[in-house]
Amino acid sequence: MIQINRKKTYLFFAGVIPVLLILVLLGVRWFGQPPASVSDGFPVQTQVPQDGDAVVATVNGAPVTKKEFKTRLPEQRAGIMTYFQQTYGCDPGGTDFWSTPCGGEAPVARLKATTLRLLVEDRVRELAADRAGISVAIGYDAFLKEWEAENRIRANQLAAGQVIYGPREYSEPAYYRYVVSNTILGLKQWLLEHDGPPTEEQLRQAYADSISGKSDPPAFETVRDALIQQWSEERYESWFKSQLEQAEVEVNQQVYEGIIL
């Protein structure tokens, strides 16, 4: 296990990624395996154990499992493709795009780092919500159970001729977004109750900032509600950033490296 504390988190992302890239590339050679074959445009490893419960990382002690990691990984593909194409002009349609270094980094390494960051955020948010008394599943297994239960309830109620709202069956990605959004809403509300609403002076300042340089700015009262919401948003963002910075993240390097698209 490598341990990454709050101060080293970004160091990890900045510094370890090239190392991981090298390890991934070298790994194939070390074990004498043929280079990862290419299927569907992605390198595929055949001999990685299919152990979904393996722990990729822990966040304040809560695990990120391999199963979860591999679920979220493909969802980040498109963003990573855009990044490398726009930043370095590499062709995401190229056969070896994911494994070929582009701008000094293999896209797959950045894809994994981005996925890990997302999952660290998920765990930190879940744990914080739990502390705030907001009902939330912590970890992927709990999430899957909740998702399955949600769909089961929906199916049962539809079968009984009862009313539900929203999709009759949530896909896993859509339910994930639904839960994340509601958790954030709950945390914003909790922060608002915890800290109180913005003062009139803060709102006036936010308004002054927002109209700076605008030739035909809306009146203060017109945007007052929006400014309160913006204040709440920024309060949440800054609070969450500090939560992330305080998080103790430990990455199991062996499992992490073993994950290939």
Partner 1 sequence: MKRRSKAILPLVILISLLLTSLVSGAASPAARAAGTTYYVDSSLGNDSSAGTSEGTAWKTLAKVNAMTFSPGDRILLKAGSVWSDQYLDLKGSGAEGSPIVVDQYGSGSKPLIHFGNTSVNGEGFGVRLRNVSYWEINNLEITSGQQPTDMRRHGVLVVGEGTGAGSFMHIHIKNLSIHDIFGTDRRTGGINFHARGTNTALESTWDGILIENNTIINVADTGIQTMTDAFSNSAWTHKSDAFKNVVIRGNYVEKIHRDGILVRAGVSPLIEYNTTNAIGNACDVNTGVVSYLDHIAVVAAQWAYYTTGAVFQYNEAFDTRKLEGDGQPWDFDVQVKESVYQYNYSHNNQGGTLLVMNDTDENIFRYNISQNDLDANGAFHLTSGGGDLYIYNNIIYRSGTQNRALTHASNTGMAYYKNNIFYNGASGQYTNSPRMAYDHNSFYGLNSSVANDPYKIVGDPKFVNPNTATGRATADGYKLLPTSPLIDAGVTVAANGGKDFFGNPLYNGAPDIGAYEYQGTIPQPVTIFSDDFEDNDFSDWTVSGGSWNLTTDGSLTLSQNTASGEAIAYTGNASWNDYTYSARIKLLTASGNVGLLFRYVDNSNYYTLRLNDSGDKLELYKKSGGTMTLVSSTGYAVTPGQWAAMKVSVSGNVIIGYVDGVQLLQWTDASPLPAGKIGIRMHTSAARMDDVKVVQ
Quote the distance between the C-alpha of residue 190 and its chain's center: 22
Segment lying near partner 1 (by CB under 8 A), choices 3-11, 80-88, 101-109, 125-133: 80-88
| DSSP bridge pairs for 43 | 38
Using the rule CB under 8 A, is 27 a contact of partner 1?
Answer: no
Sheet holding 62-65, edge to edge: 2-4, 249-251, 55-59, 62-65
Q: Which stretch binds partner 1 (CB under 8 A): 19-27, 79-87, 117-125, 200-208?
A: 79-87
Among 82, 205, 238, 246, binds partner 1 (CB under 8 A): 82
Strands 62-65 and 249-251 come out as unpaired
Q: How far is the CB of 57 from partner 1 (least distance, A)?
A: 23
Q: Tell me the three state secondary structure of residue 102.
A: strand
* Residue pointed to by tokens 């030739």: 215
**56 and 69 Cβ atoms separated by less than 8 Å:** yes
Q: Give the largest Cα separation in the chain, rounded.
A: 69
Supply the minimum distance, in Å, between the C-beta of residue 149 and partner 1. 9
List the structure tokens of 78: 């498109």
DSSP H/E element including 224:
helix 220-246
Provide the total of helices (H) and of strands (E) in the chain, helices listed first: 10, 6
**What sign has the CA pseudo-torsion 125, 131, 136, 140?**
positive
Residues numbered 85 to 124 that lie near partner 1 (CB under 8 A) are 85-86, 91-93, 95
In the bound state with partner 1, the residue whose beta carbon lies nearer, of 100 and 189, is 189
- Per CB under 8 A, contacts with partner 1 among 7-26 are none
**From candidates 111, 112, 154, 207, binder to partner 1 by CB under 8 A:** 154
Q: Applying CB under 8 A, which of residues 1, 22, 185, 208 lies at the interface with partner 1?
A: 185
The least CB distance from residue 47 to partner 1, in Å, is 9
**Shorter beta-carbon distance to partner 1: residue 229 or 242:** 229
Interface positions with partner 1 (CB under 8 A): 34-35, 37-42, 44, 46, 74, 77-79, 81-82, 85-86, 91-93, 95, 135, 150, 153-154, 157, 160-171, 173-174, 177-179, 181-182, 185-186, 189, 197, 218, 222-223, 225-226, 229
